Amino acid sequence: MRLSLVFTHCLEKVFHCQNMPPVAVENRLSGLNNEVLSWQAVYCLQTPGNETRHELSYQLDGPLAAYISVRQVQSVPSGFPCYREIDENYLTTEPGLFPDPLIPLPQRRFFAACRYYGSLWLTLTPPVDARLAGDFPLTLRLLDAQTGEALAEATLTLHLVPAALPPQTLLHTEWLHTDCLADYYRLAVFSPDYWRAVRNFVRCAVHAGVNMLLTPLFTPPLDTAVGGERTTVQLVGVTRSAQGYGFDFSRLAQWVALAQEEGIEHFEIAPLFTQWGAAHAPKIVVEEQGEARPLFGWHTDAQGEAYQRFLQALLPALTAWFRERGLERQVWFHVSDEPTLDNLAAYRRASAALRPLLDGFRTFDALSDFAFYQQGLVETPVAATDHIEPFIEHRVPGLWAYYCCVQKTEVANRFFAQPSARNRILGVQLYLYRIAGFLHWGFNFYNSAHSRERINPYAVTDSGHAFPSGDPFVVYPGEDLQPVESLRLRVLHQGLQDMRALQLLESLTDRATVEGLIERELGMRITFKHYPHQAEPLLRLREAVNRRIEALLAPM
């Protein structure tokens, strides 16, 4: 029995294969003293005979061992890894198995597939306020789980810079689909277990740099087939009587309290009109004479008198409720997701109806067309990264960015089939172009396209051959209502931490110094479409930033 083991960085994707992957061996990593750092241990167990798997255990030795989690990178299938239109910055275009979910190892044991390469994912989460600094040795040892015999070990040095990342200034929302939690775990909506699942997934999102939460006043009208519906997760209770509408915000209060307890700072109100044109109302369940039924939905003309009258009753009560809690500047409203010039008239009517009722509150919507923004209908545009240049050139204030499945060539993204460097570069780009917020639609979308079917995300990673794997979700549903992170979520968070490190260096020097360092270390002027495709320049940049910060803060 022979076991190989080496440390490498977090940007490698180690595929389930028998050939040695060309990994860069790492024996030293650095980070700031409050930074969540990830790296990998690549292993391959060679055994005689026909043994297919062998159980191993691990030991971690070193002064930081108590703060390091070890998870196994497992593989999941993708039947649809990419569109026909691609660029050269993909690892593969073929369906197959891809490394993604990070499976916890509570017993410190795991099975290694004999003669196949795999990896463990190590994550350091420094203790709060410990202010650690200096070099810390670490040894990972793998043992035969049955005999206790040590089979291999790897060592590295973790260097912690005596400085802390500043608080995140970027607003960041990854859409949490709570109906998917209820559906997958078969939970009654608003049951104690439902709230526990929501809390666990919100906590995970916050740990990954999410500070804004999609809030379903009504079941979000997102990725829903015309005439179809998703499981009802409506937070606002609505009654109708001869006297008009009444509203119960008690579940909304529970939602806000839970989110704030977990570290959420901003609330993104799910759209009050349907996607792709604002033509209809979302599903809204209303109780009348003791009977609850969907009063509004696909059958509702969004500009009709009935729905407009409802909004005129709801929004003054809702905004007053938020104001009473001091949340006026922390609540953001959508009109309709992804409007186009073809939908201009409908969007204009919807915007005109909402804006007077939302005075003092912010609105924002995803856009791909600068000409639409020029109409003056969107207060804060969330620009698609492959169409963001005119927004940047015109210095749009408070500009947000997003990508989804459509952003398949040139720009950053997080598909299974793309290298992790293409995921992490986003942090540098957001810093350079002073982007105020980042939005993605898929934190945990466990449905097929248009929510026609529910899926098992461990088996179907592409929403039923609809979106490239990696677009619909970045966490998996785990045991005991706990999320299982993907390596893509960890890499994305590392990019957001890069952004904060660059901001810290700027505060110690100036903007020009940091921009010059980025261009020098990455070997080019960075745009959203022009950046190095390899991991090494990004890692080199980050090490250079860490060294500069440490030198500037060193005692004279």
Asked if the model's pLDDT at residue 25 lies above 90, the reply is: yes
Q: What is the mean pLDDT of residues 275-300?
A: 92
How deeply is 159 buried, as exposed, middle or buried, from its count of CB atoms within 10 A (0-12, 13-18, 19+)?
Answer: middle
Strands 109-113 and 212-215, how do they pair? unpaired
Same domain, 234 and 328: yes
> Measured between alpha carbons, how far is residue 97 from residues 85, 94, 118 in Å?
21, 10, 12
**Given pLDDT bands bounded at 50, 70 and 90, which one contains residue 72?**
very high
**Residue 517 domain-assigned?**
no
DSSP structure class, residue 412: -
Alpha helices in 484-534 (DSSP H): 487-508, 511-522
pLDDT in the model for residue 347? 86
Taking the C-alpha atoms of residue 353 and residue 469, their distance in angstroms, rounded to an integer, is 38
Backbone angles phi, psi at 449, to 5 degrees: -55, 140
Taking the C-alpha atoms of residue 157 and residue 171, their distance in angstroms, rounded to an integer, is 33
Residue 32: which CATH number?
A: 2.60.40.10
Same domain, 143 and 220: no
Taking the C-alpha atoms of residue 154 and residue 120, their distance in angstroms, rounded to an integer, is 12
Same domain, 349 and 438: yes
Taking the C-alpha atoms of residue 537 and residue 239, their distance in angstroms, rounded to an integer, is 58
pLDDT in the model for residue 114? 97
Residue 217: which CATH number?
A: 3.20.20
**Residue 506 domain-assigned?**
no
Return the structure tokens found at 299: 């059958």
Domain end: 455, 485, 515, which one?
A: 485
Domain end: 428, 451, 485, which one?
A: 485
Count the domains in the chain: 2
pLDDT in the model for residue 309? 97
Domain end: 161, 196, 224, which one?
A: 161
> Measured between alpha carbons, how far is residue 491 from residues 7, 121, 394, 496 in Å?
17, 11, 31, 9
**Residue 554 domain-assigned?**
no
Asked if the model's pLDDT at residue 277 lies above 80, the reply is: no
pLDDT in the model for residue 280? 92
Whether this model's pTM surpasses 0.85: yes
Same domain, 144 and 200: no
Percent above pLDDT 90 for the chain: 90
210-226 confidence digits (pLDDT tens)? 999 999 999 999 999 99
**Mean pLDDT value across the chain:** 96
Same domain, 185 and 135: no
**Residue 312 domain-assigned?**
yes
Domain range for 222 is: 171-485
CB within 8 Å of 182: residues ≥ 6 apart: 188, 189, 194, 197, 231, 233
226-264 confidence digits (pLDDT tens)? 999 999 999 999 999 999 999 999 999 999 999 999 999
Return the structure tokens found at 120: 């463990």
